[in-house]
Amino acid sequence: MKVRFIDNVDISGKININKGETFEAREDGDFIMIRMKDDSTVKAPKSEIEGILESVEGE
């Protein structure tokens, strides 16, 4: 799935994502795996990013 962040987010104090950025992502239990622009993968706890991203399938 593709997700777009609807607010700025700081994941675990290490990664900053700006509002409007779009990434490939998938759910994995209590986490969301986000494919970053450099092809690395970030495992973000759903509890930290719930409500600040939206699905943008079809883009």
Between CA 57 and CA 21 the distance in angstroms is 14
- What is residue 8's three-state secondary structure? coil
pLDDT bin (cut points 50, 70, 90) of residue 9 is confident
Helices (H) and strands (E) in the chain, counts: 1, 7
Quote the pLDDT of residue 28: 93
Query: Which of 52, 6, 57 shows the shortest CA–CA distance to 44?
Result: 52
Quote the pLDDT of residue 58: 60
pTM (predicted TM-score): 0.76
Say if residue 55's pLDDT is above 60.
Answer: yes
- As beta bridge partners, residue 26 has 33
Residue 54 carries which side chain, given as an amino acid letter?
E
